[in-house]
Amino acid sequence: MNKSLLVYLGVLFTVVASLSGLVLVPDWQFRGIQPYETEDGIRYPQPLAGSTALGREVYIDLGCVYCHTQQVRPEGFGADLDRGWGNRRTVMRDYLFEPRNLTGTMRTGPDLANIGARQPSRDWHNLHLYNPRITSPGSNMPPHPFLFTVGGDESRRPLGATPLPAEWRTPGAAYILPTSRGRHLVDYLLSLNKSVALPEAQ
Ligand code: HEC
């Protein structure tokens, strides 16, 4: 057989095989997937809206995805479940309404697929984002103080502000008040909860 024909067939085969394996078959497998209706009539997942949707943009903008995943691996593929990162593995349906993929690949920090369930305190997230070492001694997550304004007069602490713990106070800093970006980001983190039981991942 002519050599160039062989090369041509090889290239054709590679293109067709990868196109069907990576695009056509997954599309066929997942095309009909729908939200799951629980016994209480709640549809899961729900698309994010309002502040939580804006918070996801802040999450993307600040590059949180470079250090945090949002995928819980099944048993036998790592210790995600033992670490308490979720009560089940995550599956395709969990990501149904995610316009951009934030599953991530790097785990410099813990997985955040269920952080809203694991850490439901808004004050905790405010303090942790402002300076991770306040809540997590020795943390090497970068601080994000630009998501907050700082106030010094405790008696005039506005609604939505988080008091700083005594040992972190200075004369000019008694509480932190999230900016709108900070508030959206925390709303987004609190919304992350993939613990609804699904038939394909009990
Ligand atoms: C350079 C890597 C890095 C980046 C970027 C980063 N983090 Fe982290 N993050 C960490 C590490 C390491 C920890 C574990 C220590 C700690 O709790 O602070 C952590 C912990 C966390 C936790 C607590 C998780 C738990 O299970 O207790 C949350 C929530 C979090 N990060 C959110 C964020 C958000 C939101 C962003 C983006 C604004 C972000 N991180 C950016 C490294 C990072």
Instruction: Report how far ligand 1's centroid is from the alpha carbon of 127 (Å).
Output: 12
- Tell me the C-alpha to C-alpha distance, in Å, between residue 88 and each of 73, 76, 114: 8, 12, 10
- Nearest residue (CA) to ligand 1, atom 31: 109
Instruction: Report how far ligand 1's centroid is from the alpha carbon of 121 (Å).
Output: 15
pLDDT reported for residue 1? 64
pLDDT reported for residue 99? 82
Instruction: Report how far ligand 1's centroid is from the alpha carbon of 108 (Å).
Output: 8
Q: Is ligand 1 within 6 A of the CB of residue 136? A: yes
Nearest to 93 by CA among 53, 43, 50, 58: 43
Q: Is ligand 1 within 6 A of the CB of residue 102? A: no
Which segments in the chain show pLDDT lower than 50? Answer: none
CA dihedral for 152, 155, 160, 162, sign (positive or negative): positive
Please report how many Cα atoms fall inside a 13 Å half-sphere around the Cα of residue 29, on the Cβ side: 10
